[in-house]
Structure 1
Amino acid sequence: MTSSLLEQLVEYRGIESNYNDAWGNPTTIEPETKRKLLAAMGYQVNDSDLLLKQVQENHNKVWLSVLNPVQVLRAEELLQIRVRLPIELVTDEYVAHIDTELGEVLQHRFTPIDGQLIDVVHIEEIEFQEYLIDVPINPPLGYHSLSLVIDDDVLGTMRLIVAPQSCFKPKALTQGHKVWGLSVQLYCLRSTHNWGVGDFSDLSFLIEKLAKQGAQFVGLNPIHALYPANANACSPYGPSSRRWLNLIYIDVTSLDGFLQTSTQEVVSSEEFQRQLQQARNADLVDYELVTKLKLQALEKVFEYQNSQYLTKNTKLNKAFKAFVDEGGDSLQTLAVYDALQENLALKGKESWGWPVFPKEFSDFHNPAVKTFTKKHAKRVKFFLWLQWHAALQLEQANQVAKQNDMLIGLYRDLAVGVSEGSAEIWGNKDLYCTDASVGAPPDILGPLGQNWGLPPMDPEKLYQQQYQPIIELFDSNMRATGALRIDHVMALLRLWWVASGDSAKQGGYVYYPVDDLLAILALESHRHQSLVIGEDLGTVPEEIRIKLAENGVYSYRVFFFEQAKDGGFFSPSHYPEQSMSTLTTHDMPTLSGYWHCHDLELGKELGLYPTQDILNTLYDSRHENKQSILETLHGHQSVSEEVGRDVHNVPMSKALNFGMQLHMAGGSSELLSLQLEDWLEMDKPVNIPGTFNEYPNWRRKLTRNLQDIFADSSLNSLAAKLTEARKLASK
């Protein structure tokens, strides 16, 4: 019985038993792996009696709920609801009562027995029947509430989500226009004014300059909230909260209160200026130092604003309170977490994340946390205030894009998850399976698989929570943007789960309600007028690529991965129009690094290749690929004869670098994203996948100040040529 029950649970919970690997080979998931994944979901797999009891309780809980928690449908789709009632109540007349988000009331009367009988069960000798009921109402787009009512009594309520057929797309793109932009790692930016890390004022400057050169967007790394009290946990892809912002990007100097005396006494001191110069001159971002300096100054600015505005009946205070109210529990959770983590760190206690907090502080909902929040109310307010100003400065950058008539403006990057010790999990542990992590199965680039250390959301709990966490996630990340890039967009369909203690190779796929999630994505996309780009690299079934395309999600096409079986590179003119093309990404070497094999040299130094034979094979493959690239470039007349045709005699040069970028600009993708590092002909990567402390990931700065970049005539000429090439590629 236990074996049969486990297999039923595996199927019910969307754990895949078979899949095709990166080489196209059919692969079977081991029974023990599936058992561990069920355990990570909370099932008592090691005790058959407890497991059976648990399954029965969950089953009964569903049947004792009159309505499902949530239902998602597309515009114009027939609304059908499932109603579960004891048999003696199925002949009564009920009202399906819909309260739309705009306050409109829609109603439909029905008798369950007139509907379609779906299922019958007995619970404690009571027969329950489930009916499928047609509701001939077309609710508007949005988030509504549907209640089952009889004689003014509400028997149950569910969320009703009505979404458009596909994601938003700017009109100019539907008319055939093709555009380009730059992708940047915000923290890498150097400027004459920043404090050792790029900030939102740098972003505004960059947007304005690029807009004048014809760029239509600026793409960002994830700018999610990290850990002010643990600044070296700096990976933008392992955040504390994906709803809120990284405080390090605040430009302190632009805040009201920076020039007042108490702030200037701090920042003008000899020691502060010495450390500030140290942070600015460093070739790698010194996150601890920059965070310390910014917080010292921000504390003084906060004291000023708090006394002048935030303790009085002022417009500024009303705006701040409105921001806090709108942020709700999610914002409060993060502010309390940041204050608590800081407090524990100051006391010398282990504090990298909630798993090592003292037991009484291990959950946001614990009484001790409420006591701490009251005792440290002003410090919590400080962290709320920081999030407010981060949001204001990001919106200012967005306004610069609008004022300069950028078609898209900013596009943000949504990370696939949050780290194990994050505030997001701390505040909603029921949603996350902390005994597992997501990653990727073995593939060509990672033969051992990948474990990213990010606990997955439980798809069943996400459904029970009426998809609210994912709604908030899409909503918050589309604010102040014209586009959203979803890292590892496959997460909408399935994620590779790895049980704690297992290697990445021992994982298995768990499926998510992809159609519901895509519908919500489309709804938020239209609400924010934000197009959506899905990073669809790796092991991607063709059916999900088709589904994404049908839902208006832009594919992500990387030149170096668009390679035919004979080794040749596909022309960018053959890429899907509904795609964003690029030469490289943050996880790849720069153009210069690729051409000179610096990534392979680094990999050897860092011990990433088990044998010399493997490394030799990679060198041989790189040599062949470079020759194919030269043939492609010359074949399409993307480079002049200044660039040789024999790879043995062709180093990376400005002509080759710029030629590759212009080669992409003539392609069919509606969006072209180029890396600022490649404009500067840099050779060091910003991140080396598979490394932790072996390489300074997420720290390497640009080699030049922003002000110098836009005074470079060769780069200005490149921008003009890119703009012209994109116009020629348009219909």
Structure 2
Amino acid sequence: MSSSVLEKLVEIRGIETNYVDAWGKPAIVSDASKAKLLETMGYSVSDEQALQSELKDFVANNWMQPLNPVQVNRIGEPLVIALRLPIELVNDDYTLKFTLEDGSELEQAIIPADGELINVVHIDDVEFQEYIIDVKHQLPLGYHDVQLLGDDGDKIADMRQIIAPKACFKPQNIANNEKVWGLSVQLYCVRSETNWGVGDFSDLTYLIKQSGRQGAQFVGLNPIHALYPADPEACSPYGPSSRRWLNFIYIDVSKLDGYQDPSVQEIVNAPEFQSALQHVRNIDYVDYEAVVQLKLKVLKAIFEVQWQKSLSKNTKLNKVFKAFIEEGGESLAMLATYDAIQEKLANEGKASWGWPVFPSELSEFHKPGVEKFKKANNKNVKFYMFLQWQAALQLDAAQSTAVQAGMSIGIYRDLAVGVSEGSAEIWGNRDLYVTDASVGAPPDVLGPLGQNWGLPPMDPETLYQQKYQPIIDLFSSNMKSAGALRIDHVMALLRLWWVPKGENAKAGGYVYYPVDDLLGILALESCRNENLVIGEDLGTVPDEIRIKLAENGVHSYRVFFFEQAKDGGFYSPHHYPVQSMSTLTTHDMPTLTGFWHCLDLEKGKELGLYPSDEVLQELYSSRHENKQQILNTLHGHFSIPDWMGRHVEQVAMVKELNHGMQYHMAKGSSALLSLQLEDWLEMDKPVNIPGTFKEYPNWKRKLTRNLEQIFSDPVLNSLALGLTETRKKASNND
């Protein structure tokens, strides 16, 4: 194999050859890993002649496009367009026609050769030249279409021109340096007196009302993306079916029109239904299978009531539903059809976990067989559209409650880094995803063996050729009914660690993405939707992305336990960047109680997560030292009572220590402080243990108390009001 051909492809396809690891040491990606990564992208790495041909085709295809598919610029900066043509055409007359987002048109006459010549190449004995053309017009913010027209007016090529703001949106109070706090919660784990065994949008509304009264400015959610109605146990919010749509399980069924209909009430009031309902409410872990069965049974009955009364007739309600379907477009049709297919296959006892096991004629959304299925099962497809409609209405009502309560942010949503292999999102856009690879992470503090998340990555070249539409859709849809968006693993905007299928996570490598373009789109959607943006920048984070995120107004994500100096001491939250959201723990970490009592290390040993006893002992030793340093920090900043012991052997995780740590964070400089309800309740069991699948009930553990009990607890109410007061003082001190 000619290394020059392979290395050239490695370079032009954005595969990183070396990087700095999580411990600050240089690391090199092996030749074998680079070859495997190219193979996942579809290159014939074992056939030198074929590989040379593929390289030649890749270069030629780019030169055959007179205009780039898409270009992103910031408002106010000089605008230029690259134009590529055969040499015999560069002196001809052309027109650049700009169709702005509002429909207005601008034109500019050009002769390519009058521009700046920047590149020349020969393809099959034809010389192509590339010129830079200065655009004379100032374009406004938005998505615009640019066409290259010949002197006869015929279209030769087109491109999308995106004009983005300088930075992401910030609410006025945050821009004015106000410090705020809020609660973070996994919505499914919420208990209440009325929900059906899983937290719902009515619980969210209640949580917003109550926490808002005590001064909280936001409620943060883990991803609420669409999962798999026909496969309830596939419950990870970070392995969704579609990131553009919602998980119907969060619908409060009892609030829908039609719920009081006798036909529905007969189902709900049946003894066996009530018994099952009590079961799912009372158990300590979410029984997704049972919850989904209960909800779908009643939702289908409600849909039937609405279908008979309104949705099959020319009514006002049906017009609203049709408008929702039309706005959802192909994406909504795709998800609803996928869910209907999966349900049908599951009911027939056939393999149904995802599109890779669907019958051939149904294995891709754009196949004729799928269109045939959609027509034959129109009503059931409409049912799944109906679920999305109702979920969107209830989520929007929750955010409206936040606005009415005076919250400056309200709901903050979470965008997962990818979708699972068998997802509807991949089924609907197979060309975009590299299914022979998975997103993960190189070895770091959280995962010493590296991590493989089982999420196929987007191909950056295909994303570019698709004019970034999938990313635009993801950002805009996840900013709906919210005041902030947290982007999980925000480094994905710069690079992703790809792991070839069948390989160990350590054998992966970084693939780069067009970070400046993606940040521009993020800023545009942020400003349009008035969403503050938080970037989860934990793990192996190059300085390059941290600088870019800061310049683009993206808030960093600072976790107390990771903010440690080289001498082992913990940085004071006073020293965190103002443009950040700070927190004590996350969904991938033990709770405060779990951390302090090393319950995560005990569980890790039980589950065999550590390669040796020596490694485990090092972790125990490190934890002991860290706890002592934390205790020193808390005493040093007068964040805990003076009577509390100064040696970690003498101090358990009592309420005063728990609250003291929260107040310690509240005194800090971060604009936002996020606290977990689990720590308010002094819970010890984690939400998720990274590196496990069936070994631990991830994404199922509920809160230990109902919302109603939480917000009638005088101790917790006092804590909340104290946090509000502490944040006000922090605002005044800066």
- Both proteins in one fold, TM over 0.5: yes
Name 1:7's counterpart in structure 2. Answer: 7
TM-superposed deviation, 1:64: 2.1
TM-superposed deviation, 1:110: 1.5
Name 1:437's counterpart in structure 2. Answer: 438
State how far apart, in whole Å, the 1-side matches of 2:74 and 2:291 are. Answer: 47
> What's the secondary structure of 1:97's corresponding residue?
strand
Moved more, 78-87 or 554-563: 78-87
Name 1:129's counterpart in structure 2. Answer: 129
Name 2:25's counterpart in structure 1. Answer: 25
Name 1:140's counterpart in structure 2. Answer: 140
Residues 125-161 of structure 1: per-residue CA shift (max 9 Å, x gap): 4332221111121100000001111332111110000
State how far apart, in whole Å, the 2-side matches of 1:23 and 1:617 are. Answer: 16
Counterparts of 1:248-647 in structure 2, within 5 Å, are: 248-647=249-648
TM-superposed deviation, 1:329: 1.2
Residues 485-540 of structure 1: per-residue CA shift (max 9 Å, x gap): 00000000000001011100000000000000000000000000001000000011
State how far apart, in whole Å, the 1-side matches of 2:530 and 2:159 are. Answer: 27
> What's the secondary structure of 1:24's corresponding residue?
coil
Matched, 1:79 2:68: no
TM-superposed deviation, 1:61: 2.3
Name 1:170's counterpart in structure 2. Answer: 171
Aligned residues: CA RMSD: 1.0
Matched, 1:103 2:103: yes
TM-superposed deviation, 1:714: 0.3
Name 2:45's counterpart in structure 1. Answer: 45
State how far apart, in whole Å, the 2-side matches of 1:165 and 1:125 are. Answer: 43
Residues 590-622 of structure 1: per-residue CA shift (max 9 Å, x gap): 011111111111111111122222212211111
State how far apart, in whole Å, the 1-side matches of 2:378 and 2:502 are. Answer: 39
TM-superposed deviation, 1:8: 0.4
Moved more, 629-638 or 193-202: 629-638
- Residue pair 1:78, 1:136 contacting (<8 A) in 2 also: no
Name 1:651's counterpart in structure 2. Answer: 652
State how far apart, in whole Å, the 2-side matches of 1:448 and 1:686 are. Answer: 21
> What's the secondary structure of 2:183's corresponding residue?
strand
State how far apart, in whole Å, the 1-side matches of 2:650 and 2:677 are. Answer: 27
- Residue pair 2:445, 2:539 contacting (<8 A) in 1 also: no
Letter in 1 for 2:162: I
State how far apart, in whole Å, the 2-side matches of 1:596 and 1:29 are. Answer: 38
Moved more, 640-649 or 298-307: 640-649
State how far apart, in whole Å, the 2-side matches of 1:638 and 1:84 are. Answer: 64
Letter in 1 for 2:723: L
State how far apart, in whole Å, the 2-side matches of 1:130 and 1:473 are. Answer: 33
Letter in 1 for 2:130: E
Letter in 2 for 1:325: E
Residues 202-226 of structure 1: per-residue CA shift (max 9 Å, x gap): 0000000010000000000000000
TM-superposed deviation, 1:460: 0.2
Letter in 2 for 1:43: Y
TM-superposed deviation, 1:12: 0.3
- Residue pair 1:642, 1:655 contacting (<8 A) in 2 also: no
> What's the secondary structure of 2:444's corresponding residue?
coil
Residues 216-265 of structure 1: per-residue CA shift (max 9 Å, x gap): 00000000000000000000000000000001000000000000011111
Letter in 2 for 1:701: K
> What's the secondary structure of 1:107's corresponding residue?
strand
State how far apart, in whole Å, the 1-side matches of 2:176 and 2:359 are. Answer: 58
How many aligned positions are there?
731
Structure 1 stretches lacking a partner, 5+ long: none
Name 1:65's counterpart in structure 2. Answer: 65
Residues 16-58 of structure 1: per-residue CA shift (max 9 Å, x gap): 1111111222111111111111111111222222223333333
TM-superposed deviation, 1:444: 2.5
- Residue pair 1:190, 1:706 contacting (<8 A) in 2 also: yes
State how far apart, in whole Å, the 2-side matches of 1:251 and 1:381 are. Answer: 19
> What's the secondary structure of 1:182's corresponding residue?
strand
TM-superposed deviation, 1:86: 2.2
Matched, 1:689 2:690: yes
Structure 2 stretches lacking a partner, 5+ long: none
State how far apart, in whole Å, the 1-side matches of 2:124 and 2:35 are. Answer: 30
Q: TM-score, normalised by structure 2?
A: 0.98
State how far apart, in whole Å, the 2-side matches of 1:468 and 1:477 are. Answer: 14
Residues 330-384 of structure 1: per-residue CA shift (max 9 Å, x gap): 1111111100011111111111111111222211112211111111111000001
State how far apart, in whole Å, the 1-side matches of 2:620 and 2:126 are. Answer: 71
- Residue pair 2:145, 2:159 contacting (<8 A) in 1 also: yes
Letter in 2 for 1:69: P
State how far apart, in whole Å, the 2-side matches of 1:445 and 1:250 are. Answer: 34
Moved more, 688-697 or 358-367: 358-367
Name 2:193's counterpart in structure 1. Answer: 192
- Residue pair 1:581, 1:673 contacting (<8 A) in 2 also: yes
- Residue pair 2:402, 2:411 contacting (<8 A) in 1 also: yes
Residues 567-595 of structure 1: per-residue CA shift (max 9 Å, x gap): 11111000000000000000001011111
Letter in 1 for 2:506: K
State how far apart, in whole Å, the 2-side matches of 1:619 and 1:54 are. Answer: 52
Moved more, 583-592 or 127-136: 127-136
Letter in 2 for 1:37: L
TM-superposed deviation, 1:542: 1.2
TM-superposed deviation, 1:107: 1.7
TM-superposed deviation, 1:631: 1.2
- Residue pair 1:558, 1:583 contacting (<8 A) in 2 also: yes
Q: TM-score, normalised by structure 1?
A: 0.99
- Residue pair 2:5, 2:55 contacting (<8 A) in 1 also: no
Name 2:703's counterpart in structure 1. Answer: 702
- Residue pair 1:142, 1:163 contacting (<8 A) in 2 also: yes
TM-superposed deviation, 1:409: 0.4
State how far apart, in whole Å, the 1-side matches of 2:620 and 2:444 are. Answer: 18
> What's the secondary structure of 1:730's corresponding residue?
helix
State how far apart, in whole Å, the 1-side matches of 2:634 and 2:58 are. Answer: 60
Moved more, 615-624 or 684-693: 615-624
TM-superposed deviation, 1:121: 2.8
